[in-house]
Amino acid sequence: MRAVQIPEPGGEFEVVDRAIPEVGPTEVRVEVDACGVCHSDSYTKEGSWEGIQYPRVPGHEIAGRIDAVGADVENWSEGQRVGVGWHGDHCFTCEPCRRGEFIDCDHERVTGIDMDGGYAEYVTAPTHALARIPGELDAIDAAPLLCAGVSTFNALRKSNVQPGDVVAVQGIGGLGHLGLQYAAAAGFETVAISRGTEKRDVAFELGADHYIDSTVTDPAEELMHLGGASVLIATAPHSEAIESVVSGLAIHGQLIPLGVPDGDVGVDVIDLIENQRSIKGHSSGTARESQDALEFSSLRDITPMVETFPLEDAAAAYDHMMRNEARFRAVLVP
Ligand SMILES: [Zn+2]
Ligand SMILES: [Zn+2]
């Protein structure tokens, strides 16, 4: 099979021929139809995640079809359409697992980091990593939902927001353009925050009720004119951007950073104490939660805006994404 691997930390993408992987007893093998390119693929590219073994095939936004099932696998069969996301496996025995918090497993295995990912024609995955893809959803549309989609969808579901509340999405990119669609479809008064006017029209097309250009107005003040954001999903990976919106949260408002910022975030604690605001950590979702995101996307016709690249052009797709030029998600097609 063809695969794209990173040979060493900080190495370049290599297109290689590899043996099609054998399927383990509790795994399935997936023939990859599409794989999204996520900013977190840089952990594999740069070797900035502890314990990665090289060469490694990146990619954790995988959509494909089951091609082979392991000897001990029940409930999954050849030909089923499945997705594999960031959360690749958990141990079931550590303290977080004993509490059902599989996403926080002490021995979590991450797709494309702790095991080979989807920049390839085939990939093997534990059954715990599988989400069913509804029939109506195209593989190219499904792939980005396995990380960018479930991250934003689940962030909304796991917050304390109620229908009709103000939900703000800061940054309109791979994550933000899905966050806007989910917020609008789920019944929230939806606010897009971005720099400049370039993304204003697309924000309204994606379902925003309001648009805040943070280069000409104070986004926190603008949010307070709307009553404050009950939830603000911060996708722009910049500390200053996150700092600028804390005081735009409503009473009990939660700021959920999804983009990992470029430095420490300074927060005036008074901003949190007054109005009982909080900053809440959130990490993508388990396979079943990914399936929820896929099913809701299918139900409400939510699709990512994508640019496709042939698998061989993984390096170009990755550079395009890293330069923030993808509108809005780059997807590799083998
Ligand atoms: Zn990701
Ligand atoms: Zn565990």
Q: Which pLDDT value is given to residue 76? A: 98
Q: Ligand 2 mean position to 89 CA, how many Å?
A: 9
- Those residues of the chain that have pLDDT short of 70 are none
Q: Which pLDDT value is given to residue 261? A: 85
Q: Ligand 1 mean position to 77 CA, how many Å?
A: 26
Q: Ligand 2 mean position to 117 CA, how many Å?
A: 21
Count of residues for the chain? 334
Closest ligand (CA of 99): 2
310 φ/ψ angles, rounded to the nearest 5 degrees = -65, 150
Q: Which residues face 66 on adjacent strands?
A: 30
Q: How far is CA 265 from the centre of its chain?
A: 21
Cα–Cα dist 105/256, whole Å: 21
Contact 254, 279 (CB under 8 A): yes
Q: Which pLDDT value is given to residue 260? A: 84
Q: Ligand 1 mean position to 154 CA, how many Å?
A: 14
Which residues place a Cβ less than 5 A from the ion ligand 1?
38, 40, 147
Closest ligand (CA of 87): 1
Which residues neighbour 190 within 8 Å (Cβ) at sequence distance 6 or greater? Answer: 167, 168, 169, 180, 183, 184, 207, 208, 209, 210
Find the helix or strand (DSSP H, E) in which 225 lies: helix 219-225
Closest ligand (CA of 42): 1
CA atoms within 13 A on the CB side of 325: 7
Q: Ligand 1 mean position to 175 CA, how many Å?
A: 9
Contact 131, 287 (CB under 8 A): yes
The two three-digit tokens of residue 287, written as one number: 């396979």
Closest ligand (CA of 258): 1
Three-class secondary structure assignment of 197-208: CCCHHHHHHCCC
Q: Ligand 2 mean position to 126 CA, how many Å?
A: 14
Cα–Cα dist 317/50, whole Å: 25
Q: Which domains, ranges and CATH numbers included, belong to the chain?
A: 2-147+284-333 (3.90.180.10), 150-279 (3.40.50.720)
Q: Which pLDDT value is given to residue 107? A: 96
Q: Which residues face 63 on adjacent strands?
A: 34, 83
Q: Which pLDDT value is given to residue 236? A: 86
pLDDT in tens, 52-104: 999 999 999 999 999 999 999 999 999 999 999 999 999 999 999 999 999 99
Neighbours of 207 (CB within 10 A): 18
